[in-house]
Amino acid sequence: MLSMLFKNTTQKVLNRQLLTQVQSQVNNLFQSQPIFRETLQLQFQVDIFVHGGKDSISKQVEEVQKYPGIRSIITSASDDLSNPYGDHVSQTLKKVVESHSYDKVIASTSAFGKDVTPRLGGLLDVQPITDVIQVINNGQQFLRPIYAGNALSTVSSSDKIKILTIRATNFEKIAAGSANTYPVKEVAAQNDNVQGKWLENNVSESEMVELGSAKYVVSGGRGMKNGENFKILYELANVLGKQHCAVGASRAAVDAGFVPNDMQIGQTGKVVAPDLYIAVGISGAIQHLAGMKDSKVIVAINKDPEAAIFKVANYGLVDDLFKVIPELSQKIKALQ
């Protein structure tokens, strides 16, 4: 896992683009997600906090060294940090923040980020600002969605330490470059007062790219009728390329037991913003739109011409999905 730490100083960072948090849902914190850098355009010196097991730290540091605009890398290696348990991480992060006098801590709005930041806020007695989609007024104010994304709120905080979670899909991803030689500082893991322990990770394995980083997303709703029918969506995703495409679902499909909840996209699921989002048999409830409406191109396929999904779609097709999807897969395959 990586967290971004920085101080408000007069010295400007040459590259103003900042690196966000990397986290994973598997034993090795480094393997499951790519590293993202976000364009926040702030004039602060940036340090990166990297934690994990002793066998993963070196790999994470090697990856972080490929990104510009960083002052230093702070590491904490411990067997207790090998798996994403929020209490261990927040206790160690508190020690890092206080000992280095950081005034801002930034993590991504992921399940783990939303676990760690409230714990850290409680330990430091500050209020985290979550799900930030834009940083304005040189870091003094923050824009975040409310009411399932139907309104935007501009917020500020009088806390001396600002703790933020960032919605990564709203910021530009920066490709890795050549390796740098940032100084690496090590801090000891803080295990005192930890009120729990990690037991196990339950992870759904897939050959496809992770939903949050997919270039294309094919998503199914209640109109799929059952979980077995999701195989036609997987076939379409395979044609589009496993390395670029992922399959998701609406809450209705998850609640009906068609697919596991780690595939859910929406207000209470994952937020995605791919280049192409194909909504299949999805009505377009406001909770679902909150998780995908920032997609660059939205294609809706639904037999109901009054479905709300058509109001946000760039392209819509009113037809039987069980006829359209197999035909679409064949057409794309023929063009390859």
> 3 a known binding residue?
no
Burial (0-12, 13-18, 19+ Cβ within 10 Å), 192 = exposed
> 291 a known binding residue?
no
> 134 a known binding residue?
no
> 284 a known binding residue?
yes
CATH number at residue 74: 3.40.50.620
Q: Are 117 and 109 in contact (CB under 8 A)?
A: no
Residues 243 and 177 in one domain: no
For residue 151, the cross-strand partners are 146
> 266 a known binding residue?
yes
Q: Within a domain: residue 192?
A: no
> 16 a known binding residue?
no
Q: Within a domain: residue 274?
A: yes
For residue 185, the cross-strand partners are 74
pLDDT at 36: 36
Q: Which two tokens stand for residue 34?
A: 């790519």
β-pairing, 72-77 with 297-301? unpaired
> 316 a known binding residue?
no
Taking only the tens place, the pLDDT of each residue in 85-135 is 888 899 999 999 999 999 899 998 888 888 999 999 999 999 999 999 998
- Of the residues 149, 170, 186, the one at which a domain ends: 186
> 181 a known binding residue?
no
β-pairing, 37-38 with 18-19? antiparallel
CATH number at residue 257: 3.40.50.1220
Place of tokens 């819509």: 316
Strands of the chain, DSSP E? 2-7, 18-19, 37-38, 45-52, 72-77, 104-108, 129-132, 134-136, 141-146, 151-155, 162-166, 184-186, 216-220, 245-249, 276-280, 297-301, 315-317
| pLDDT over 70 percentage in the chain | 86
Residues 228 and 328 in one domain: yes
φ/ψ of 91, rounded to 5, equals: -65, -45
- Of the residues 137, 152, 186, the one at which a domain ends: 186
> 251 a known binding residue?
yes
Query: Does residue 139 carry a pLDDT above 70?
Result: yes
> 267 a known binding residue?
yes
> 167 a known binding residue?
no
Residues 151 and 278 in one domain: no
